[in-house]
Amino acid sequence: VEFTAVQKEIKDGMYSPNAYVLANLAIQLPMIFVLAVAALLPPWAIDALPWVTFPSAVLVFGVILFALECVAQAMSLVGNPLLGMMLFITHWFVTFLFSGLFVKISSVIWPLRILCYITPMRWGMPSMIYQAFSPYDGERGDVFEGAGKCTPSPFFGPLFCYGGFFCEGISPLECYGRTGKDILGTVGINFDVISDEFTMWTDIAYMVAIAVCWKLLFVVQLNRLCSGGTAPSAPAAKKKPPRKGD
């Protein structure tokens, strides 16, 4: 509905396609981060997560939303609205499936593996998880004092010492470490996209690059759809009826 109105107004010369994109972006960006704050406030408050990483989490989550919004805008220009919605839902499913949290990236065959690198969740979710766990270092957040270092046995492997930690009275497979970064490193054994290293700015750069590609596709398609048509011709002059006596 919006595109039909925008297309008509652009063809009527009210504004250019690029002016519409800039005006839309000026409204889109602030509202995306307002939505990110509204989405993250409840889990941070309910789970008592350290507020020191809340601004970083809002930044990462906002960039995720912006990238997905750019995808939605590009797919909204498909001729059939139902087809556009179906394409976006498919992209959403692919984004989660190839994010590295369900299937190891190394286990995905080529050429499907490229989907692991061009979806925003692949870069956004590891940084979100890092923001949630990394503050638990004894200074900014609590630590689990019941975990101690151990060395895996060459005979029993992780049976008694999984991830290099041992917790008395707890199964080794449920003992992830003492600090938040210990937990990230242990979980990263099974999920290679999760790491105890700070990669937020790199992840944001990849997501911005993905968003820019989809935004450029939207701009090109918008200009193409709004530049068609021919200029209206001048109305034909009406013949005056003959006067009586002529």
CA-wise closest residue to 99 among 210, 175, 176: 210
CA-wise closest residue to 181 among 134, 213, 120: 134
**pLDDT at residue 189 is higher than 80:** no
Please tell me the predicted confidence (pLDDT) of residue 210.
94
At residue 148, φ and ψ (nearest 5 deg) are -130, 160
Contact present, 33 and 62 (Cβ < 8 Å): yes
Please tell me the predicted confidence (pLDDT) of residue 142.
73
Contact present, 148 and 225 (Cβ < 8 Å): no
DSSP letter at 149 equals E
**pLDDT at residue 4 is higher than 90:** no
**Is 140 or 58 the better-scoring residue by pLDDT?**
58
The whole-number average pLDDT for the span 155-180 is 68
Please tell me the predicted confidence (pLDDT) of residue 193.
83
The whole-number average pLDDT for the span 167-180 is 73
The whole-number average pLDDT for the span 61-86 is 89
Local confidence band at 242 (pLDDT 50, 70, 90 cut-offs): low
Local confidence band at 240 (pLDDT 50, 70, 90 cut-offs): low
**pLDDT at residue 74 is higher than 80:** yes
What does the mean pLDDT of the chain come to?
82
